[in-house]
Amino acid sequence: MADTFRLTLAQANPVMGDLAGNANKVREVWAEAKAAQSDMVAFPEMFIVGYNAQDLILKSALQAAALAEIEQLAVDCAEGPVVAVGGPLVQDGALYNAYFILKGGKIAHTQLKHHLPNYTVFDEERLFAHGPMGGPYDVNGVRVGSPICEDAWFEDVPETMEETGAEILVVPNGSPYYRDKFDRRMNHMVARVIETELPLVYLNMVGGQDDQVFDGGSFVLNPGGQLATQLPVFDEAVAHVEFERTAAGWRCKDGPKALLPAGEEQDYRVCVEALRDYMGKTGFKKVLLGLSGGIDSALVATIAVDALGAENVRCVMLPSEYTSQESLDDAEDIAKRLGVHYDYVPIAEGRAAITNTLAPLFEGTEPGLTEENIQSRLRGLLLMALSNKFGEMLLTTGNKSEVAVGYATIYGDMAGGYNPIKDMYKTRVFETSRWRNNVHRDWMSGPEGEVIPVNIIDKPPSAELRPDQKDEDSLPPYDVLDAILFMLVDEDKSVADCVAAGYDRETVKRVEHLVYISEYKRFQSAPGARLSKKAFWLDRRYPIVNRFRDPS
């Protein structure tokens, strides 16, 4: 009976639907594990396909192709460490979220996910069947149990594995980031360790997939809840962890323990990684955006440079007669600080042409919101023309406050392929901009120092679509607006709850109304990095046609 057990953890970044590419990643890490004389190499949940595959996983052609890749992996990795990798499995007409144990040239064991998450971004109830609570599998004389992701958030599956002989728990995950989620994961896993008195390996994937970022942060806990190894967040990592048999059972030897960054840094890193992977996995190389001289576009430009490098970012100033000299100066200033390509494209001529074209139809009416929106939509048209001509993806720059209340022009400044700050409230945009000016990390491709001019951060926000316009002409102050939105959107609180918290009822009702009537805009908006449990898209799904208003 062996007294040591070496496990290789692959905290890896799959590409959705790239079955062959993901299988090759398995082979590469397996070779490292073999060289390290590991007994087993483990990959995250659904790694062969990618996660969260949504309805793509229902394609029978994908299911068959994924199984074929896994069967070929078993053959290719027959002489060396056991391979554990996630993928779909069809059995007796039912589709399961499965974890495949590859040993001796074949699939030696399959663990089927029992608890299926059906909240926030997850729809597993409509995609998969519930698997039975299975037992452990053998790896060179060691009994390993693998509760799949959600199965480890409940006590029954791990306890069943312990009762049927498991000695070590290896938990494969596809767990996307939201703020402060790491602490929740850790608390749940510590509970499982205390209940089973078994060491537990929490293995999570990394990388961006549409709006979600998987943040890694894999770790190993010993019985009692002691942390033995902590992998970094967001980075791909291969770690070899060593277990030894003791009189009290298996224990993991102490390994490296990465320091986890603070929440504001993790949020910013998500924005960077989401854009970087969205670009890389869709095949785009370069981006462009309208640079207004305001804080939102300044922060998006900074994120883009940190994600892709200044050589891959084009910023365009599209001034009208309402654009202040201060905004012109600020836009040029940040473009120089970031080192990006900078274009100056006035919209006066195009706007005059549109005004003349519409003049016979608009005769006798007063200028107003329509004329303001024409400016925004003309900018969107010009930016999309540049995107088409040069093959650069257009980034949109609306923050969560604007997205929530519709303070953005559909087919205008909402035009674009991705929005890095879609789930970042305006007050946090200010905080994040100040943070980035003071902090630089090696994963940032942009320059150090004060990249966002202080004047951009300090000046009152304005769309500059009419003389002397300020955002607060149309909206409550952002500290008030964001606090109300957080209660209504993120916490699903009532109007009465907001009033009890000290906010004016008329203001709360107005904000509630704006949120509801803006649903059609969000339905057509670009995807963006998910930072919270109530990001606009899969986390919060509301009807477009809706007359309900909270009567409280």
Residues of each annotated binding site for deamido-NAD(+)? 373, 402, 521
Amino acid at 218: S
State the catalytic residues.
45, 113, 149
Of the candidates 376, 386, 385, the one whose C-alpha atom is nearest the C-alpha of residue 341 is: 386
DSSP string, 251-320: EEPP--BPPPPPHHHHHHHHHHHHHHHHHHHHT---EEEE--SSHHHHHHHHHHHHHH-GGGEEEEE---
Q: Virtual CA dihedral for 334, 338, 343, 345, nearest 10 degrees?
A: -30
User: Residues annotated in the binding site, as ranges?
Assistant: 119, 175, 181, 290-297, 373, 397, 402, 521
Three-class DSSP category at 139: strand
Q: Do the Cβ atoms of 295 and 321 come closer than 8 Å? A: no
Task: List C-alpha distances in Å: 391 to 74, 210, 305, 307, 528.
Answer: 41, 20, 17, 18, 20
Q: What SS3 state is found at 388?
A: helix
Eight-state DSSP code of residue 447: P
Angle between helix 369-390 and helix 348-362 axes, rounded to 10 deg: 130
Distances (CA, A) of 192 to 9, 85, 161: 20, 22, 11
Q: Which amino acid is at 373?
A: N
Residues making up the binding site for ATP: 290-297, 397
